[in-house]
Amino acid sequence: MIGDERRPYVFAAKIQKIWILRSIDLPRDISRQIRNTVGGKALHVPVYGWIEGLPFQNTLVPRGGGNYRMHVHSRIWRKLRIDAGAAVQVTLLLDSEPREAVLPSDLAAGLAGTPSALAIFNTLTVALRRQIIQYVDSAKQARTRDKRIQLIVRRMLERAAKQRKRQQHKQKAARKRTAT
């Protein structure tokens, strides 16, 4: 990132409800400052900070006109007992730390037992890998955790089969085009 990424951006914003999501639109001047700091062309900007004192880690997304929007996780707005229309104080900092998901040893062992499942897992976005890890970690009992790991391995194998099928279909279509 370019510029002073440790500078906090503090502003007041209203929470909006867009479909089932709650979000905050960043003020135009702060969006411009952030865009200039990250180099002008960044669409998704990793950030962290506080909303009314509650910590968060998030990603700014474009909302049009060169401005940014940030989704507010339900853990935050429910804990604050607020909803759409509420004004909140936001402190935002640019996040330059890597956000790679740390794989628990039992999930890593389950995926490593099936190399194609591990290969597919590694192609997933960091956000989806984090979500899967959170799903496995939220199990309260060891038996539930084991079942979830087995489910994840099966889902990765299903994804691998779908990818193979798609690839075969593409190859078949390409052969058909060249044969004609």
- Confidence bin at 1 (pLDDT 50/70/90): very low
Whether 3 maps to a domain, the answer reads no
pLDDT of residue 172 exceeding 80, the answer is: yes
Structural domain harbouring 23: 9-94
What percent of the chain shows pLDDT beyond 90?
64
* pTM of full prediction above 0.85: no
Domain boundary among 69, 94, 119: 94
Domain boundary among 40, 62, 94: 94
129 and 79, same structural domain?
no
- Confidence bin at 4 (pLDDT 50/70/90): low
Domain boundary among 94, 122, 152: 94
Return the pLDDT at 174: 84
Strands 54-64 and 67-72: antiparallel
49 and 69, same structural domain?
yes
Whether 112 maps to a domain, the answer reads yes
pLDDT in tens, 82-114: 999 999 999 999 988 877 778 999 999 999 999
User: What total of structural domains would you count in the chain?
Assistant: 2
113 and 47, same structural domain?
no
Contacts of 24 (CB under 8 A, 6+ apart): 13, 14, 15, 16, 51, 69, 70, 72, 88, 90
Distances (CA, A) of 100 to 70, 95, 153: 20, 13, 20
Q: What is the CATH number of the domain that holds 46?
A: 2.40.30.100
130 and 76, same structural domain?
no
Instruction: Please count the helices (runs of H) and the strands (runs of E) in the chain.
Output: 6, 7
172 and 119, same structural domain?
yes
83 and 37, same structural domain?
yes
pLDDT of residue 3 exceeding 70, the answer is: no
11, with CB counted inside 10 A (0-12, 13-18, 19+), is: middle
pLDDT in tens, 119-146: 999 988 887 898 999 999 999 999 999 9
